[in-house]
Amino acid sequence: MPKPILEVENLTKRFGDFTALKDLTFEVEPGEVFGFLGPNGAGKSTTIKMLCGVLTPTAGRARALGFDLFTEADQVRQQIGYMSQKFSLLDDLTVGENLAYFGQLYGLEGASLKDAIQERVRELQLKPLVDLLVAGLSTGEKQRVALASSTLHRPKMLFLDEPTSGVDPLRRRLFWEAMDDLVKDGMTILVTTHNLGEADQCDRLAFIMAGELMAYGKPRSLKEEMGRQVLELRTEQFRALQRATQGIHQIISSELMGRGVRLSLAVNSNPDPVLADLRRQGFSFEATAPELPSLEDLFIDLVQQSRQKEGV
Ligand SMILES: Nc1ncnc2c1ncn2[C@@H]1O[C@H](COP(=O)(O)OP(=O)(O)O)[C@@H](O)[C@H]1O
Ligand SMILES: [Mg+2]
pLDDT digits (tens, 9 = 90+) for 235-271: 999 999 999 999 899 999 999 988 899 999 999 999 9
pLDDT recorded at residue 226 = 94
Atom of ligand 1 nearest to the CA of 48: 17
pLDDT digits (tens, 9 = 90+) for 190-205: 999 988 999 999 999 9
Q: What are the phi and psi torsion angles at 102 (to 5°)?
A: -70, -35
How far apart are the CA of 151 and the centre of ligand 2, in A?
20
Class of domain 6-223: alpha beta
Measured CA to CA, the distance from residue 11 to residue 28 in angstroms comes to: 15
Give 41 Cα–ligand 1 centroid separation in angstroms: 6
* Architecture of the CATH domain 227-292: 2-Layer Sandwich (3.30)
The domains of the chain are located at 6-223, 227-292
Mean pLDDT score of the chain: 94
Q: Which protein residue's CA is at the shortest distance from atom 3 of ligand 1?
A: 15
Q: Compute the distance from residue 58 Cα to the ligand 1 centre, in Å.
A: 14
In this structure, which ligand is nearest to the CA of 13?
Answer: 1
Over residues 201-225, the pLDDT tens digits come to 999 999 999 999 999 999 999 999 9
| The ligand 1 atom nearest the CA atom of 13 | 12
**Ligand 1 centroid distance, CA of 172 (Å):** 25
| Helical ranges in 20-164 per DSSP H | 44-51, 73-76, 95-105, 110-123, 139-151
Give the list of residues 6+ apart from residue 6 with CB closer than 8 angstroms, or none: 27, 28, 51, 62, 63, 64, 157, 188, 190
Distance from Cα 111 to the centre of ligand 2, integer Å: 36
Name the closest ligand to CA 40: 1
* More confident of the two residues 13 and 257: 13
To the nearest whole percent, how much of the chain has pLDDT over 90?
A: 84
What digits encode the pLDDT tens for the residues 145-191? 999 999 999 999 999 999 998 888 998 999 999 999 999 999 999 99
Ligand 1 test: best mutation among 13, 14, 15, 51, most atoms within 8 Å of CB?
15
